Homo-oligomer: A and B are copies of this chain.
Amino acid sequence: MIQQPGYRTEPWAIRERDLDLERLAQGESVFALSNGHIGLRGNLDEGEPNGVPGTYLGGFWDTRRLPYAEAGYGDPEQGQMVVNVTNGKVIRLLVDDSPFDVRYGTLGRHERVLDLRSGTLERDLEWTTPAHSTVAVRSTRLVSLVQRSIAAIRYEVRALDRAVRVVLQSELVANERLAVAADDPRAQSAQQADLLAVDHDHAGLRALLVHRTAGSGLYVAAAMDHELEAPGSELHEVEASGDVARMSVGATLQPGESLVLIKFLAYGWSRKRSGQALTDQVLAALTQARATGWTGLLKEQRDALDAFWEHGDVEIEGDPALQQAVRFGLFHVLQAAARAQQRAIAAKGLTGPGYDGHAFWDTESFVLPLLTYTLPQAAADALRWRHSTLRRAGRRARELGLAGAAFPWRTIHGEECSGYWPAGAAAFHINADIAAAAARYVEASGDERFEREVGLELLVATARLWMALGHFDADGRFRIDGVTGPDEYSAIADNNLYTNLMAKRNLTAAAATVARWRQAADELGVSEDEPGGWLAAARVMRIPFDERLGVHQQTEGFTAHARFDFAAAGPDSYPLMLHFPYFELYRKQVVKQADLVLAMHVCTDEFTPAHKLANFDYYEPLTVRDSSLSACTQAVIAAEVGYLDLAHAYFREAALMDLDDLEHNVRDGLHIASLAGAWIAAVAGFGGMRDDGGQLSFAPALPAAIARLRFRMLYRGSTLEVVVERREVTYALLDGPAIVIHDRGEAVELAAGRPVKRPLEAPVKRGEVPRQPPGREPRHQGRHAAT
């Protein structure tokens, strides 16, 4: 493992003390700001040098051709990709006759801080020009969580030792050139969309560019306005042309004097509205932002974050690095989701171009559990986005000869964009994942309107899919053949246990929901008999089990396959997919990511405690975690079966995935689902929270390294606080109506102001902790190891 210089361990901030140009692209992801609608990578204000320049808009996409050496029927011919839209972050600085560039002159100081409570990225530096003039620069950037279309930057340059002439150029730049680099074949297309210039305008200190995508025909408008604070006279001019708009301001600064520029940025896009309507929309947003003012924006941002942390914070005592990482993760999940508002939440959020900006099952299976209990409106919005794509999913199902809805494995706008079907379209479990997320949200929120408008139809459409996908075999069992489960190192296999159990849940939940909304179900054409068929299939769902080994099978026949020869592969062969053909992986016992183990988390009551232990012991030595969607689930089940230190190690891996760049691809964007997984590891792992089966239950236990864990959850309109200590757990209702929860199987009634304490026993010492494949031990040996 490469030792990363990394960031300082602080509870509420990510602080970078020095600028390392080698790690520039990683920092751009870590320091990305977003509200789910606008995403600004943490590129330097002056635009260059950069790793990956990036400005993204939620749900905005262009098309790319998907080529095949040998195409098959149903292979999508056109994909979608996130677009690096007009860059409004750029503020260039000229000091005397030297353009500010960190690669020239002398950088006396350079610090950046992502403040998790103020929701700002601060930059503080001192630079001496090649001609020996020194200036101090301080910039503060925010993307407003309150005003969805708005970002803003305060940029201050100050003369230090002698008088300098300075010029600031604040720009909007479209069609920036991107560096191309990706060795993960799925990570990102080398193609880059071109934006076609449609309109440009300027007036006063304001300028605007309107562009259109070449393939998808979407319009995007970006506008900027400015406020200036200069010590004396200052000169400024504004210009705009097709791909560039520029506001330039020049001033002479005496030592100690500053020039301050406040830049308000507004973005909007639309598929249906005209360029003129968009223009007006962003100009109105700018007007509102200027009315709010810079300090107003800062205050709104702080208030919004205070409210989030009030419900969402997770406190961990005993592991400061983990504490920081968990908050970093929560902050970025918030940024990805807060104002996404019925657009896809991408796997990378709006932090980078990785995976072409696509959303996967990550959203429903890892991000929504967190949002459901901390920011429920965002969870509902994400599901409303899925619901808005139902017509496309229905068309896809019919194209595949199926019924109901077949949601895409990867997409931005709802069409299938997977170019390798065995690990894409065949992963039908995404449909059950969506159904489970909808059921979970309804269960946790009690939101009946959502259930009737969104949940019901999602559950019915996916239940119908499973009935078309599966069949009753000669033994009368319901089988689902030839699909791919979460583990992408197996594919096109029969009776994937995770898929079958999730389909079972899907069918059962659909039947229950139809029973609650019989009239609305009529409108969807659900006959009186149809739910009975769903329940019949659910009852006899095939669950593969190996009698000889006494463990469940990930897929039918899995345990008869040869074990992958990890020793022969050697420690430099990870991720295996870059060193072995899928052919070799699919046919061996090797697991990319939690699959059966995930089933044990989300379908907890389908397994006895003894089977959970046996299964974990069996699959752990086969699981290489070549996906970021694994550590958090392994943490949850390791905790449940009693491997608490191992659970802690996995918790750290999930939480530190990006701060420590464990998969060496943070340059392409953050792993939003792994960051959300850190919350899952905390709450479902050491809190033992389970929410399947219509009740909220807990079974807390702490590892040696964590002295105290506190988290809060929104449940049925109430705020629940759980404090886990070594010998006791405290459940408290902070507000809202009384609720019933379960603590280790026993019902506990909670009312506001009457916390309940329950003792915890010392965890049973497990003798033999299962070993991971050599070289794939949990990766917590880095700088954070010594906590």
Contact = CB atoms under 8 A, between A and B. Distances in A.
B482 A74 contact: no
Nearest to A549: B474
B482 A72 contact: no
A257 interface: no
Nearest to A548: B474
B185 A71 contact: yes
Contacts of A556: 557
A560 interface: yes
A104 interface: no
Interface string A560-603: 11100000000000000111111110111000000000000000
Nearest to A66: B69
Nearest to A490: B482
A67 interface: yes
A494 to B, nearest CB: 6
Nearest to A582: B72
B586 A492 contact: yes
A480 to B, nearest CB: 9
A583 B67 contact: no
A551 to B, nearest CB: 13
A539 interface: no
Contact of A69 (B79, B581, B586): B79
Interface stretch (A119-127, A416-424, A516-524, A609-617): A416-424
A694 interface: no
B581 A73 contact: yes
Interface string A682-725: 00000000000000000000000000000000000000000000
A581 B71 contact: no
A548 B473 CA distance: 12
Contact of A74 (B424, B471, B581): B581
A479 B560 contact: yes
A9 B185 CA distance: 56
A561 to B, nearest CB: 5
A607 interface: no
A491 interface: yes
8 contacts: A66-B69, A72-B185, A74-B583, A401-B580, A425-B581, A479-B562, A494-B557, A494-B560
Contacts of A67: 67-69
A186 interface: yes
B69 A420 contact: yes
A785 interface: no
Given A401-B584, A560-B473, A577 B481 contact: no
Contacts of A578: 73
Q: Lowest 6 A-B CB distances belong to which pairs?
A: A69-B419, A482-B587, A74-B581, A66-B69, A67-B67, A70-B420
Nearest to A421: B583
A510 interface: no
A424 B421 CA distance: 15
B70 A481 contact: no
B482 A418 contact: no
Given A69-B76, A72-B420, 11 more contacts: A68-B69, A70-B424, A72-B577, A73-B581, A73-B582, A75-B581, A400-B581, A402-B584, A422-B422, A479-B562, A492-B587
A562 B471 contact: yes
A33 interface: no
Contacts of A580: 73-74, 401
B73 A577 contact: yes
Contacts of A481: 557, 560-562, 587-588
A666 interface: no
A730 to B, nearest CB: 49
Interface in A249-280: none
A672 interface: no
A326 interface: no
Nearest to A568: B401
A479 to B, nearest CB: 7
Contacts of A471: 562
Contact of A482 (B75, B79, B473, B586): B586
A481 B69 CA distance: 25
Contacts of A474: 548, 560
A457 to B, nearest CB: 25
A456 interface: no
Contacts of A401: 580-581, 584
A727 to B, nearest CB: 45
A567 B33 CA distance: 56
A426 interface: yes
Nearest to A561: B481
A352 to B, nearest CB: 18
Given A474-B560, A481-B561, A548-B474, A419 B186 contact: no
A562 B260 CA distance: 71
Interface string A410-442: 000000001111111110000000000000000
Contacts of A66: 69
B494 A491 contact: no
A578 B74 CA distance: 9
A399 B583 CA distance: 12
Contacts of A79: 69
Nearest to A79: B69
A588 B471 CA distance: 10
A783 to B, nearest CB: 32
A68 B587 contact: no
B69 A582 contact: no
Contacts of A399: 581
Contacts of A583: 74, 400, 421, 425-426, 482, 492
A581 B72 contact: yes
A79 B418 CA distance: 23
Nearest to A480: B587
Contacts of A68: 67-69, 185, 419-420
A421 B562 contact: no
A418 B578 CA distance: 19
Contacts of A402: 584
